[in-house]
Chains A and B, each alone.
Chain A
C-alpha cells in the first residue's frame, strides 16, 4: 500500500543487487553514515536490506490496528539503533541523504518513501532536544517547516550541494 513500495520478486533481486552495490560504493566513498548502536541487527542484514519494508509494513498494521508493540520490527527500534550522532554529536535528518542511514540507501536506490513526513527520523532524545531549543527560542517546534515547504526543499538541496 502507500508509504512503502511493494515490489515483486524480480525487482526484489534487482534491488538487492543494487543495494549490495550501494553498500560497496558507499564504503569506497568513505561512508558518512555513523555506525549503528549495537553490533547485531534484529535480522540478518542482507535479508534486511531487501526485506525490511515487509517487516516494517507488517508491524505497522499490527501496531496501529491491534496495539501490538513488540520492539523487534518496530520502526522506532530501527531508528533508535541506526540513527546515531556523528562526531559532532549531531543526528542526521532524513533530508540528509549522505548521513541518514535510511536516506543514504533510499536515495541511491531511488526509492521514495513518505514514512518520515509523520514518523520521527531520529531517536526521541534528539527530537526532545530540538523541541527544547525551540521552546528556549520561543519558536514553534513545528515551525522549521512552517516557513515554506518548497523553500525547505531548496534549502536542503543547497546544503547538500555545499557539503559536496
Chain B
C-alpha cells in the first residue's frame, strides 16, 4: 500500500514537473525578452558571481519569472573551511552549541567518503529549495510554502510545530526551535515551537542584494565554490555553469528538482 502511495506520489511529481517545465519555459522566454539587457552578465571571475539586475521594487510581489538557486562546486570546497556555515550563523543569528542535537543548523558541512576508493569530499548542505518540496506537501496548515521565486520558507505565524515537514525532508534540512530564544535579529525572526530552515537569505534577495551570506563568505574566502543566481535566466552565471558542467541533485531519484545543485559530486 505504501509503495502504491509512493509510486502515485512520484507519478504526480512527474506530471507536475512536466507542466511546470512548460510554464517555466514560457516565462523564461518572456523574461529574457524583457530583461536581456539588464540581467547580470558574466563579470570578471571572482568579482561578482551573482545577479545584479533583477531587483524588484519593494512594493511588488515576487514572481515566478525568476527561480533562485545555488550551485555548489564540490571540487573548490575544502574540508577545513567552514566559512559558509559561520556566515550563515552570523547573518541569521544562529548560535548552535557544538554537539547540541537540538540547536538549529541551517547549513552544515558534510564529509562524504567512498569506502571503496577512500575518496573524500566535503561540501555544504542546506535546504535544497525543491521545486516539489515534500515539506510543503505534508504540512497540514500550509505553513511550509514555496514562494513564487522558488524559495521554500516556513510561515512561522501558522506553523503549529508538528514537525511533519522534518520527517518528510530528504535532506535533514530543517530544525525545530527547542527552547526560548533571545537576541534574534530583526531580519530573521524565529522562535520556540516552530520549525526553521535555510531561507536563502530572503531578506537580502528582497532588498535587491541578490546573493546569500554563504555564497558571499565563500567568495570572500577565495574558494568561489557557491554560485547564487536565477535558474530561469539562461544568461545567468549559474545557468551557464549548469549548462557547461552540469549539476547533480542529491537524491535525484526522488524527482524533487532541487534549486541547489552540486558540481563534481
* A10: Cβ under 8 A from any B Cβ: no
Q: A128-139 interface mask toward B, CB cutoff 8 Å, 1 = contact, 0 = none?
A: 101100100000
Question: Whole-angstrom distance between the alpha carbons of A60 and B155 in the complex?
Answer: 10
- Are A127 and B59 neighbours in the complex by a CB distance under 8 Å? no
Closest CB in chain B relative to A32 CB, distance in Å? 23
- Are B155 and A64 neighbours in the complex by a CB distance under 8 Å? yes
Residues from chain A with Cβ under 8 Å of B192 in the complex: 117
**Residues of B bordering A, CB below 8 Å:** 56, 58-62, 93, 95, 97, 145, 147-149, 153, 155-158, 179-187, 189-192, 194, 202-203, 205-207
Question: Whole-angstrom distance between the alpha carbons of A3 and B158 in the complex?
Answer: 9
Residues from chain A with Cβ under 8 Å of B191 in the complex: 117-118
- Are B186 and A124 neighbours in the complex by a CB distance under 8 Å? yes
Closest Cβ neighbor of B103 among chain A residues: A142
Closest Cβ neighbor of B160 among chain A residues: A2
Taking A117-B191, A140-B97, A141-B93 as contacts, is the C-beta distance between A66 and B61 under 8 angstroms? Answer: yes
Question: Whole-angstrom distance between the alpha carbons of A130 and B216 in the complex?
Answer: 25
Taking A118-B156, A120-B185, A120-B186 as contacts, is the C-beta distance between A69 and B179 under 8 angstroms? Answer: no
- Are A66 and B62 neighbours in the complex by a CB distance under 8 Å? yes
Residue among B58, B187, B207 making CB contact with A70, cutoff 8 Å: B58
Residue among B158, B180, B202 making CB contact with A149, cutoff 8 Å: B180
Query: How many residues of chain A are within 8 Å of chain B by beta carbon?
Result: 36
- Are B183 and A68 neighbours in the complex by a CB distance under 8 Å? no
- Are A143 and B182 neighbours in the complex by a CB distance under 8 Å? yes
Residues from chain B with Cβ under 8 Å of A2 in the complex: 157-158
- Are B183 and A141 neighbours in the complex by a CB distance under 8 Å? yes
Q: Ordered nearest first, which 7 A-B pairs have the shortest CB separation?
A: A118-B191, A66-B61, A145-B180, A67-B62, A118-B189, A144-B182, A120-B186
Q: A79-118 interface mask toward B, CB cutoff 8 Å, 1 = contact, 0 = none?
A: 1000000000000000000000000000000000000011
- Are B95 and A3 neighbours in the complex by a CB distance under 8 Å? no
